[in-house]
Amino acid sequence: MKFETLAIHAGQEPDPNNGAVMTPVYFTSTYMQDGVGKPRQGYEYSRTLNPTRKALQDCLAALEGGNFGLTFSSGLAATDTILRLLNSEDHALAGNDVYGGTFRLFDKVLRRFNLDFTFADTTDPESVADALTPSTRLVWLETPTNPFLRITDIRAVAEIVHAHENKPLLVVDNTFATPYLQRPLELGADIVVHSMTKYLGGHSDVVGGAVIVKDKELADKLYFLQNAVGAVPGPMDCFLVLRGIKTLPLRMERHYENATAIVDFLASHPKVEKVIYPFHASHPQQKVAMRQMKNGGGMISFIIKGGREAAIRVVEATKIFALAESLGGVESLIEVPAAMTHLSVAGSQLEVDPALIRLSVGLEHQEDLIEDIKQALEKA
């Protein structure tokens, strides 16, 4: 089946009890068993599995071209659970542009458990090869990255990573692209991770995370950790994401159309120093982006002339674009990463330009969005 059909049906059967077409929200923490050690239909306790969650997990696995899906109470809970595959003294190599919270978890929390992290420019596969060490067990990358929208050639990096004697796990955070635009497992990644809070949910009304893999042995280790650690989402959250996913293909097409119109406007604006967008001709990895992504997505970053002060004046002046963290919803958002989502990278090798403004372009009419940015840029 094609992606649009899977987005609506994968993992979702009419309820066997009453034929409900939409997956019911199973508000139950536990399940009656037919005898000791004889659970009905495999359900024992909702930390371990819940039918609403199972429908979402199976749907995500189908969309990413994987065999196994797992969901979590947030994107960071998903990230944390993946990192628990490692042992003390192991090395993880990460991209040098990642969500600020991911960096904070690696640098401020997991280092305390003797995990070693280094950060490299994954847009250059040779830098990845140079940064692998004899103790590297995991390579973590975002593509497009948050917030610079840099693109890594997943296939090229997968070849390098898998040639290493440890066979490190290649993890791709696919939050910005979504499986509609890019399927990392098909390009050689071992694990795909998402903040479902963003495009998958799509309506800024739920926080969640997801992990998708192909390999059964790896899936079993992750299911063990998911249950043993317990950072699982509730059934209502799973329902909201399932509902959001049904319109993912339509939304991603419109996000792209609107973003393209705004990129064209920004590219010729005298107060804009530089526009960053994966499918724009000025993007250094445009070719790779066009090869591995279906379209350029809904995220735009741009550098404003006048530095931090000008950036703050602009984001405080928009009327339709809400000044807020997060992204991927139907509504447009604007923020200054250096002062907001990426505050935790200040002073590190991942430092973000304070004049960089990030847009999450929503589904409003593009003329209204352009008008809004135009009037805000006058305040720069």
Which positions lie near ligand P1T, rule CB under 6 A? 74-76, 99, 101-102, 142, 146, 173, 175, 195, 197, 207, 209, 325-327, 341
CA distances (Å), 282 to each of 43, 93, 274, 303, in order?
52, 28, 9, 14
- Sign of the dihedral defined by the CA atoms of residues 286, 291, 295, 300, in that order: negative
CA 251 to chain centre: 16
Q: Is 124 a catalytic residue?
A: no
Q: Is 80 a catalytic residue?
A: no
CA-nearest of 316, 99, 304 to 107 is 99
Q: Is 223 a catalytic residue?
A: no
Task: Give the residue carrying structure tokens 């107060």.
Answer: 271
**DSSP SS3 for 194:** strand
Q: Smallest distance from the beta carbon of 289 to ligand P1T, in angstroms?
A: 16
Q: Smallest distance from the beta carbon of 142 to ligand P1T, in angstroms?
A: 5
Q: Smallest distance from the beta carbon of 345 to ligand P1T, in angstroms?
A: 12
Q: Which of 173, 190, 237, 353 is catalytic?
A: 173
139 has which bridge partners? 93, 170
Q: Smallest distance from the beta carbon of 261 to ligand P1T, in angstroms?
A: 23
The residue at minimum Cβ distance from ligand P1T is 75
Q: Smallest distance from the beta carbon of 276 to ligand P1T, in angstroms?
A: 15
Per DSSP bridges, beta strands 299-304 and 209-213 are unpaired
Q: Which is nearer to ligand P1T, 69 or 209 (CB)?
A: 209
Q: Which of 47, 104, 246, 308 is catalytic?
A: 47
Q: Which is nearer to ligand P1T, 43 or 197 (CB)?
A: 197
Q: Which of 43, 99, 199, 256 is catalytic?
A: 99
Q: Which of 53, 137, 150, 198 is catalytic?
A: 198
Q: Largest alpha-carbon pair distance within the chain?
A: 73
- What whole-number distance in Å separates Cα of residue 369 and Cα of residue 260? 12
Q: Is 111 a catalytic residue?
A: no
Q: How far apart are the first and last CA of the chain?
A: 49
Q: Which is nearer to ligand P1T, 43 or 289 (CB)?
A: 289
Active site residues: 47, 99, 173, 198
